[in-house]
Amino acid sequence: MGENYITCREENGSINISEDVISSMVRTAISEVEGVAGLSNAYGAEIAELIGLKSLSKGVKVQFVEGKIVVDTIITVIYGCNVVSVAKNVQEKVLYAVQAATGIENAEVNVHVSGIAFDK
């Protein structure tokens, strides 16, 4: 993902923001939401990590599709928390973070809950 950029064309030139930068902001925003146990790997990313490839975007996928930033997150929720409420809070927090950091209002955030984390 390191070579993918979101490009904003302006009168004076263009602004390019790496998808990795947005992924990092998204991970930070998610970590601040109460009830989130952590991010999960997408299928295939775990295999890549096993063979030594680092996955910087663990649990976060950022794309720029038809002028819109599309963020997909995969989270686990702490047992006992309301799953829908936690997912909505993640969606709102990530949407705000992406819009505030990029200035692009046209964004979509999809939250996928992959599991529940129990106390050990």
Alpha carbon distances (Å) from 94 to 12, 19, 47, 70: 29, 14, 27, 11
For 52-109, what is each residue's pLDDT tens digit?
544 445 789 998 888 889 999 999 999 999 999 999 999 999 999 999 988 888 999 9
CATH code reported for the domain at 5-117: 3.30.70.1350
pLDDT above 60 for 47:
no
pLDDT given at position 16: 85
pTM: 0.81
CB 98 within 8 A of CB 109: yes
Higher pLDDT, 97 or 119: 97
